Structure 1
């Protein structure tokens, strides 16, 4: 009688991008909520998702954070935190008018863009803002300057459609979580059409966004498939999927390991893995555990940059 043995699991080589996952701005925002809970005690209110990741938001809910859409949803006398994406000036002004104790978790690199917008407006320049309509960071940046001071540009075609007086003083700024390549194309179109446009002193796309896209460009051409751990409302995570696809590699975004369809792995011997800037390393570990159940896994970390950025906490929590 022949013994029956389970067939061996096929090998799967993982190319794991580094850097990946949390950036300094996300680390800071989460620490602000956790320290506020320690200082004030639960509940602490947070206007909008602190970062775009359901796992992180649910974890903070479990510790006593309450997430709301608008300040009207925050009871009088309760502390409130503004998300990492930034808010219009009207929001902290309203919070102060109500006597609320508020903390600003806006990423310092987003705040830098806000200050640039103010300076360009004060210099009399109209601002062309490159970004995605409806994204919280775009809404927050537009809310730093008077209405009409800024025009949203999403594509090269938007630049061609611009109709501005020839003598208009112009500058441009960008959302921090855009595609590096797409943004370069839009900037090239702006500078070709408006040679007098004033550029920001330093690139607005943040270091973490640029680094994660560069890492995907390194692993995607060597992979049969790329998995991006992130959220569908996370701009930087969506860009990582696009970057992989532009390298000619099929890419899927997942939020949790349970989203992995085993059929995706048919014919795949090399799998690239990365995580958006608001996805914690715990989710990467969860995905690795799931893949080990499905295949005989070997792991190679592909390092394209080292990140040592740390941002200070708001002075109310610095102690």
Structure 2
């Protein structure tokens, strides 16, 4: 009989819950050994945890070495489950209990010995730095906008910093692309994405990375993960109004926004879709957001079905 352990992972510690008792141990070999001893036979042990970046790598490696099974739950799935059981409080101890209770949602076929994909780790690390660079570039551009135009010395200094960061970001993006195309399937996916009018190489790389982060997501789930799902605002002067959730990565949404601007001019399918919404009285921004969602779904379908874009005939 399976012995489930819910684990909330932090940098230095692990919060555990085994159905009877809570524990806090170190995120280290000693802590992992403690977990191992919670079951009489390690073959019965099933760990449930979120893949919290580098903090989870040591635990995943230990599971692989010791042949311990695990269920790795995506952050969104964990949040949605917590809401479904009306668990609004959030502490490390409570999160471990929520993850323990998540066993009721587990498909037995997903209980496997986890592996650490070192290539994906390298890609993720570079992507995180790339996103930081993009965030800093945006901040510096905003500083230029807020700087008195006569202060040319300061403006030149900021522009030099932007140029340096852009060069570093381009180098990282190339490294990410090289790591991606080591897998022939990723090479094909990038090529297929770039057959969509409006999607260039940078947008293709960004989209593929996002799809790879959520390999089991469906089209609508991908829209939500990108923060493009509409949510209702129902308070005060905004009663009955809707907006996008903006839960996903801002920089990827910006790339998709720019790609959609191009697409509604040069992509017949998106152009007709956008113009039809506007002609039916939808505000242009609402129509544009709908076109962004449609473009994302098209890109997602091409990668899932391993096929290039086909224009309307």
Q: Same fold (TM over 0.5)?
A: no
Higher helix content, 1 or 2: 2
